[in-house]
Structure 1
Amino acid sequence: MFVEILSFVGMRARDAGHRCRGCGVATGTSSAPAYSSTPMTSDSRSANSDIAIIKLHKSINNVLHGEGSDDWILQIKYVQKRDNGTYECQKVASGGGGTLSRRVELRVLVPEAFILGAEEYHVDAGSAINLVCIIENVSWVRRRDWHILSSGLLLYTNDERFQVLHGEGSDDWILQIKYVQKRDNGTYECQKVASGGGGTLSRRVELRVLVPEAFILGAEEYHVDAGSAINLVCIIENSPAPPQYVFWYHNARMINYDEAQGVTVSTAPGARTQSALRVHAARPSHAGNYSCRAPGADPAHIYVYVSEGSDKMAATLSRNAAVAQGPPVSVLLYALLASAVLSAGALERT
């Protein structure tokens, strides 16, 4: 709690006009060392005849009164949220003058957890992120799996990328994640159990990790006749900076500089980088797996089939430098299925 001690200043007993000169509230420790501590009762009297009865409508802790002083202080130590409310000091005036009283309102400030910055962060994979929670001695929780990552300065994870930063005398509790990865996506929460049964204080922040993504336009397969051009386009998105180069591979071999083989590559960097591969005259040896690769992104793949002549069903498959020609398994299954359907139809007609 921000309020540690409440000092409640009661009656000024020497006021001849029987005026209650007010009730005061102070935070922190009392600065009047001469005060003695007296257990508070509903009827506290002084040897001074000018001081009548002081009634206190809350039975809490001690009344402080220094000899020769006009101050009557209600002191509340270790203030809690339940101490919220109105406090009143009273004096019964002599000579039938009624009751003099003053009230003071106590509002206990309960600290709230506060996460510095936005409620959602978008960070690039491989970078570092600091999640700052402003409250005293917190725990950090990853809500995806309810894993308690830290409590105070103690870490409860074997992942060395996580660290808690806290400066002495500071209210900042920082969860630092180095070399952010895609699996770090999710909601993070800082928590503190409030004292005095005030429940749990918490704040959440959403972490979105941007991972570069590469994909090749079109289907997973690319069919082309021998002698025709192969045209493939690779798109790279979510890159922290536009990639200055994109490498193309045919099977396991990089082909960016195979101009003598009729291969050209052109790349246009940008927020959505495009890289175009062109093979000017496809040959059976050009069949196989093609992939494009950019820094930080998983490679994208497509399989190219080169057909001899106009017969698309007689595709040349080449998963290495040279493979015997033959129709794909899917073509054989299709032919068998068609034959079975025709046979069944012939039986029905007979």
Structure 2
Amino acid sequence: MDSDACYFFLRHRRRRMGGTIPDHLMLHTLNVGSPASRGTPGISWTRSLELVLCILLLLMILPAASHVDWRTRVPVDPVFLKTNSNITVREGGRAELPCTVQHLGTKQVVWRHVDADKYLTIAQQPWSPDVDVEVHHVQHNEELSDWTLVLPKVKKVDAGLYQCQLTSSAGFHTFVRLNVVGPPITEPDVVLKGTQFVERGGKIELQCNATGGKQLADAIDWFKDGNIITGERLKEYKILSTHMLEHGALVSNLQIDRARIQNGGTYVCRSSHNVLRDIVVQVLVADSSNKKRGTISSANSSNSSRSGAMETSSSPSPLCLLVGLLVYVWPLSV
């Protein structure tokens, strides 16, 4: 940069900066490079000193100019970033409705239940004390923040359309729809019922019903006498599992068409929630049971006959008593 260019640049910056460069500094520094002194001969060291002072003045001016530009930046309108706008939660569960805002500035975030025509929160404060909601606020940086509406225990009446909007900014809002499905969440449980006594050759039917938990059980395992029923053991069993969404349950049925003696034992069903129940199945053999009953009856009959014979032999007949009496009386009469 030559002295003429530096001179005109400093004059221009002097006007824009409102005279922050003193006149005497301009004159003493650039008198050699001004247009009036262009024809005046000078020495080389003066020219060099002029350029050095010009550079120093530029270093003083540029930070000040940068400071002015930062203070006069143009405001930016708020923007809602795209988030999940369709939330599905089971009744009794926890719902989180997202709302992310950029360039919020001094405005406040307001949540409203549109279907119920009710304001819920402003910033992080509940609008009314009877509303069981809260707002989780996360400030990612100076311009970006999250304002998530949290419903700890969702009810059927909480379903519907929700609006996240800004105060003092008409038209700045976003919507989130909340869907509430299924029965309330309960603790995981298993109910096992079915055949406990069966004749050999009869049918064994067991049903395992897994319910509860934050989500439905996705599998049920069957065990017999401590061994899982799978692979080769599975051939003689019929196992069918079905999700009953309307009841919030997974139902598994185990069936044996023709029971054998070895099918008796302890059966266990275990859900993917690691809850299990057991049942004992007994296979009865009809023939051997009847034979035992018959044998016992025959023995009792024999014992009765022997005891009757003993009673008969030990009791004297009337004829014998008469003969004995005559033998006793006859000698006395003679």
TM category, shorter: 0.3 to 0.5
**Bigger-Rg structure (1/2):** 2
More strand by share: 1
TM-score, scaled to structure 1 = 0.35
TM-score, scaled to structure 2 = 0.36
